[in-house]
Amino acid sequence: MLSDVLARERARITLGRRIGLVLRRHRRENRHSQRETAQEIGWSRSALARAEVDAAALPLHKVEALLALTGHRLAIVPETVETASALGEESDVAWGVPDLVARDAGRRRLPTTGAVRLRSSTERLVDGRGTGHEGPWVWTRAR
């Protein structure tokens, strides 16, 4: 039966293919050709065609931009149904300072295997005279 075939195919849809289907549906609902849409976003028609088939190979920032064009967005939600429905999605306030802000002098995130704290202005003034202590963050190894 056709319904069985559709159910099997729906179960096999990957995230990349799902994004491609959203892109194609949006374009068709707005009665735009691939060429028109590609010109609008500054892509080639063939790149848009590949994205509509499977967007998995695209960089995440391009996927986000394409989804924004369609009125959709990416969301990270907890795996359990109860938690996901209660939260809607994971809130940005759940991420702490070390995850979002703390960086070393090379603008890299600090290791996750220790404790991170912001140095006081006095500490920075005293330590700033030494080499390699210019950053505002202190990372200490977990014991």
DSSP state of 92: G
pTM, 2 dp: 0.58
Task: Retrieve residue 6's tokens.
Answer: 């559709």
pLDDT, averaged in runs of 10, over the chain (143 residues):
76 88 91 93 93 92 91 76 58 59 76 76 67 66 70
Q: What confidence score (pLDDT) does residue 35 get? A: 94
At residue 119, the pLDDT reads 77
d(CA 44, CA 37): 9
Q: Which of 59, 53, 34 minimizes the C-alpha distance to 44?
A: 34
